[in-house]
Structure formats: C-alpha cells, structure tokens
Amino acid sequence: MIRKLFHYVMVMILALAGVAGASPRKPTYAPVSVKLRAVQVARHTWYVPGLRGAATEHEGFISNAGFVVTSKGVVVFDALGTPSLAHEMLKQIRKITDKPIVKVVVSHYHADHIYGLQVFKAEGAQIIAPAGAREYIGSQQARDRLEERRLSLDPWVNDDTRVVRPDRFVTGDYSFRVGDVDFQVSLLGKAHSDGDMTLYVKTDRVLFSGDIIFEGRIPYVGDADTRNWLRVLKQMELDRVVALIPGHGPLARNPVRAIRATRHYLQFLRDKMKAAVDELMPFDEAYRSVDWSQFRKLPAFEAANRRNAYQVYLSIEAEQLEAQK
C-alpha cells in the first residue's frame, strides 16, 4: 500500500514538473481562404494590398498594410483587420527576411487596421500610435465594435482577439532610423479618425498615408472631422514622394492625382450638405436632390455614400451651432 502510494506521488510530481517545464502554447489562428501577397514598391518597402469591399467582406481583408525591411529589423505599417490576416502577413515577411519585427506604426485605431496587432506584439514589436487613439482604447465604442466583429468575422475574430494598447502614443512629428533606413512620422490629428498619422520612408521616398487617402473607391467618413481632413490634405507636400500607399485601394504612382480624388469627394460632400443646411432642407430631401453620378460607379458607393453624406450634414449643423455661440 505504501509502495503504491509512493509510486502515485512520484508520478504526480513528475507530471507537474513536466507541465511547469513545458514551453508556452503558441497561439493558433483560424486559416483564411483569401490570398495575401507582398508587393515590392521600392528597395526596402513592400505592401500587402487588401481587396475591394465593405468592412466584413473577404474575411475582413479590405485594408492595406505594409512593411519595410532594414538591415537591423522590420518596420510594419498597420496590422490588418484580423489576427489571422496578420499571421498570414507575417508569413509573407518571413519569405523575404528573418530579421526581427521591431516596430509597428499604426495609422489610426479603426478595426480594419488594428486587430492584427497582437500577432506582431507577440513577436516583440513596439506598437506606435497617434495620441488620438487614447479616446478609442477602452471605450464602449471599441468594445461594441469588437463584439460585432466577433460575430460578423467569426472565426477570424474571436474571444482571443483583443485591442492592443500601444507602447508609445505620438504627440508630434518625429523621425527615427532603423538600420540603413530613415523614417518620418507625421501626426495629422483628428481627420479621418480621432487621431491619424502617416509614415514616410525617406530612403525610398514612399508614403504610407493610412485612410487619409483612398485610392479608387469611396472613402469611409465615419465620425471624421472632414473640415480638418480637407485642411490636412491641402497641406500635404507630396512633391518628393514617388509612390503613395493608401489605406485602401491600389498603390498610387501618381500621388498628386490620388490626393486630388479624395479631396474632390470630401469637398463635394461638404459643399452639397452645407447648401442643404443653409436652406434648412431635411437630409432625405437633400440627399435625393444631389447628382451623385460621378461617384456612383466607384467601389463602396452603395455601402458608404449615404452614410457619409449624413455624417457631413450633421457635422455642418454642429459647426454652424458652434459658430453662433
């Protein structure tokens, strides 16, 4: 009896020791059927082009991301809309280099750009985001969006998906160098979101614009400050840029044309909605009265345009009320 008890105790001790010495379980991610590919833009710079569509189409693969391979490590820009997509992006990076992921620069804290952050955080990367993202992290809006995506993008967004808090909040423009590549971060403030910023790869003369620029599709306005967004676009100096990677849509080899298209759409919205507000015209009537034909064939028009117009209508009302105080 004593011998059996001794044997049992030893087995339990060895089993517990084995558990204690085991390596931590690596996270697993639901496989995706969409194909990710890394496209080289310049000597050091690559991007992963998302597909055209609404936020939950194509398994969430509707935004762009990119990365820069330096002699000392990899700098990533944005992290895609699910951990599964980010995991696939990491596989693409590993086909090109085995250097560590040292930084992730986040253009803004919208779901389609941030849910992959946990993959790169697990690689040891420093997460850098605009100061305006503080308002989103921990908010009810962030919790609601995550719950919605756990339903609409299951199993790629699930109970293990989380909103990653940045290691650094950017409060002003700054430059940094990794290995043989120089970078410039520009803080744009509240424009498309509560906080937006761009990353300029100086060595390659390539600009990652985030959602400040939409190429070949209707922008998503959301709760953006369109007045400031237009101001930011007008102030952008693109004469040194040879390629622009927008938050959505294809690579722009003609940056001036890309910025002009986004500016034109936003200015058109503001002009038409301001005229309606000035005339005290109800929104439904205002929307029906506008000729949208020049934008109607663009991707995401049906999904985004009416919502964009309504948001701009409300924001102009608010601007006018504020001006009267």
Residue pLDDT, tens place only, 25-64: 567 899 999 999 999 999 999 999 999 888 999 999 999 9
DSSP character string of 237-304: --TT-SEEEEEESS-BS-HHHHHHHHHHHHHHHHHHHHHHHHTT--HHHHHHHS--TTTTTSTTHHHH
Task: Please check whether residue 24 lies inside any domain of the structure.
Answer: no
Domain count, the chain: 1
pLDDT for position 6: 41
* Confidence band, pLDDT 50/70/90 cuts, at residue 5: very low
> Mean pLDDT of all residues in the chain?
90
Structure confidence by residue, pLDDT tens digits, 191-213? 898 899 999 999 999 999 999 99
Task: Please check whether residue 204 lies inside any domain of the structure.
Answer: yes
Amino acid identity for residue 225 in this structure = D
Task: Please check whether residue 163 lies inside any domain of the structure.
Answer: yes
Q: For residues 218 and 77, give the distance between their C-alpha atoms in angstroms, rounded to a whole number.
A: 22
Q: Which of 15-24, 54-63, 236-245 has the lowest mean pLDDT?
A: 15-24
Task: Please check whether residue 325 lies inside any domain of the structure.
Answer: no
Residue 134 sits in a domain whose CATH number is: 3.60.15.10
Task: Please check whether residue 303 lies inside any domain of the structure.
Answer: no
Q: Are 240 and 255 in contact (CB under 8 A)?
A: no
Q: Name the residue among 244, 294, 232, 250 with its Cα closest to residue 269.
A: 294
Structure confidence by residue, pLDDT tens digits, 55-88? 999 999 999 999 999 999 999 999 999 999 999 9
Task: Please check whether residue 187 lies inside any domain of the structure.
Answer: yes
pLDDT for position 233: 87
pLDDT for position 12: 47
Q: What is the pTM of this model?
A: 0.83
Q: For residues 296 and 305, give the distance between their C-alpha atoms in angstroms, rounded to a whole number.
A: 9
Q: Which residues 6+ apart lie within 8 Å of 155 measured at CB?
A: 30
Q: Which residues 6+ apart lie within 8 Å of 273 measured at CB?
A: 286, 309, 312, 313, 316
By percentage, how much of the chain surpasses pLDDT 90?
75
User: Residue 163 is part of which domain span?
Assistant: 39-262
pLDDT for position 315: 94
170-187 mean pLDDT: 95
**pLDDT at residue 7 greater than cutoff 50:** no
Task: Please check whether residue 318 lies inside any domain of the structure.
Answer: no
The count of residues in the chain is: 325
